[in-house]
């Protein structure tokens, strides 16, 4: 199906996993009531965005309560669900920042482990070190669905144009970034990066952010965004808890690429080192 509605659940995240799961489930239903066939949650939607808390909230895929809740929601509503991200623990005890993706029957059809960990020290601004508790993923994620081909990456991954380009060369038509930009880099770079990835690659780009929780240690910037392949903003939120709804028309990907055949004009032999 080339034309469909997408919903982003810009939810407030609190320090209570059960409450976060209930909120996600409620907002997914709200997005579905708004006509969404593809629904997206934000980064670390079941856990406050704090490195030291990731181990405590982490769960394994098999039997994990959050993963089970997501599968049930996808099946119950018959939607494609990009389950934001959660801290995922593997058999060896490594913890990843992972997005789980489900089809309309609730089957897990893909997962992305955040490749670029957010280790930054912006003087007078944001200090964060995901690598204190997280292990990085090591591959791109391209998921073929009944609605189209989704490239999924997480937050800081959006700063790496090579990752987006690789997903697009593999066939991605929509790039989806569950994210949690903060008050320093959010206003400076969030919209710019999402629109840049859209215009670079002539694809839809969706950034799904948490709402601002004024009581949280890490203050999310919000501003979930849907951008089309011409880099037009189709929908954008403020900092509040809300469902952002937009219309995707995948025919526009082909139209823009035909009119401005950027990807055909690439000269990979010149870029290689």
Minimum CB separation of residue 180 from ligand AKG in Å reads 5
Size of residue set near ligand AKG by CB under 6 A: 10
**66 or 85: whose CB is closer to ligand AKG?**
85
Minimum CB separation of residue 116 from ligand AKG in Å reads 8
79 neighbors 37 (Cβ within 8 angstroms): yes
**100 or 221: whose CB is closer to ligand AKG?**
221
The reply on whether position 181 binds ligand AKG by CB under 6 A is yes
- From the candidates 43, 59, 88, 173, give the one annotated as an active-site residue: 43
36 neighbors 236 (Cβ within 8 angstroms): no
The reply on whether position 159 binds ligand AKG by CB under 6 A is yes
Minimum CB separation of residue 47 from ligand AKG in Å reads 12
Selection from 151, 189, 264, 217 nearest residue 14 by Cα = 217
Rounded CA separation 99/21 (Å): 15
142 neighbors 149 (Cβ within 8 angstroms): yes
**43 or 173: whose CB is closer to ligand AKG?**
43
Residue 89 annotated among the catalytic residues of the structure: no
Minimum CB separation of residue 72 from ligand AKG in Å reads 27
The reply on whether position 255 binds ligand AKG by CB under 6 A is no
What the block records as the tokens of 109 is 């059809």
Select the residue interacting with ligand AKG from 8, 180, 239, 243 (CB under 6 A): 180
Selection from 30, 25, 80, 2 nearest residue 245 by Cα = 30
The reply on whether position 221 binds ligand AKG by CB under 6 A is no
Rg value, the chain, Cα: 17
Site for ligand AKG in 63-102 (CB under 6 A): none
208 neighbors 178 (Cβ within 8 angstroms): yes
The reply on whether position 46 binds ligand AKG by CB under 6 A is no
The reply on whether position 203 binds ligand AKG by CB under 6 A is no
- From the candidates 89, 114, 130, 173, give the one annotated as an active-site residue: 114
Minimum CB separation of residue 86 from ligand AKG in Å reads 13
Residue 155 annotated among the catalytic residues of the structure: yes
Residue 123 annotated among the catalytic residues of the structure: no
Sequence-ordered list of residues with C-beta below 8 angstroms from that of 148, at least 6 positions apart, any chain: 2, 173, 174, 248, 250
Site for ligand AKG in 129-158 (CB under 6 A): 155-156
Residue 17 is inside which H or E element, if any?
helix 17-33
The reply on whether position 54 binds ligand AKG by CB under 6 A is no
Question: Could you identify the residue written with the tokens 């690659």?
Answer: 201
Backbone angles phi, psi at 190, to 5 degrees: -55, -60
**83 or 182: whose CB is closer to ligand AKG?**
182
Sequence-ordered list of residues with C-beta below 8 angstroms from that of 8, at least 6 positions apart, any chain: 31, 39, 40, 42, 206, 208, 224, 226, 237, 243, 244, 245
**159 or 255: whose CB is closer to ligand AKG?**
159
The residues annotated as belonging to the active site are 43, 114, 155
Residues at the site binding ligand AKG, with contacts judged by CB under 6 A: 43, 118, 155-156, 159, 180-182, 185, 189
């Amino acid at each position: 199906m080339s034309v469909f509605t997408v919903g982003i659940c810009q939810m407030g995240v609190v320090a209570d996993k059960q409450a976060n799961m209930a909120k996600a489930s409620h907002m997914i239903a709200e997005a579905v009531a708004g006509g969404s066939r593809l629904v997206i949650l934000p980064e670390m939607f079941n856990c406050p965005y704090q490195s030291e808390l990731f181990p405590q909230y982490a769960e394994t895929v098999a039997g994990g309560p959050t993963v089970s809740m997501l599968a049930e929601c996808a099946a119950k509503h018959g939607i494609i669900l990009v389950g934001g991200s959660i801290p995922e623990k593997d058999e060896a005890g490594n913890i990843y920042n992972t997005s789980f993706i489900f089809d309309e029957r609730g089957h897990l059809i893909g997962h992305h482990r955040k490749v670029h960990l957010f280790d930054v020290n912006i003087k007078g601004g944001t200090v964060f070190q995901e690598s204190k508790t997280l292990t990085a993923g090591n591959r791109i994620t391209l998921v073929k669905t009944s609605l189209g081909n989704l490239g999924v990456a997480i937050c800081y991954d959006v700063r790496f144009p090579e990752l987006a380009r690789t997903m697009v060369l593999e066939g991605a038509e929509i790039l989806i970034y569950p994210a949690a930009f903060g008050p320093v880099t959010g206003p400076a770079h969030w919209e710019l990066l999402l629109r840049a990835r859209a215009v670079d690659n002539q694809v839809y780009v969706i950034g799904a952010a948490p709402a601002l929780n004024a009581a949280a240690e890490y203050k999310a910037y919000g501003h979930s965004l849907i951008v089309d392949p011409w880099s037009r903003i189709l929908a954008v939120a403020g900092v509040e808890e809300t469902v952002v709804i937009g219309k995707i028309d995948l025919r526009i990907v082909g139209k823009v690429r035909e009119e401005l055949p950027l990807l055909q004009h690439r000269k990979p032999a010149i870029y290689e080192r």
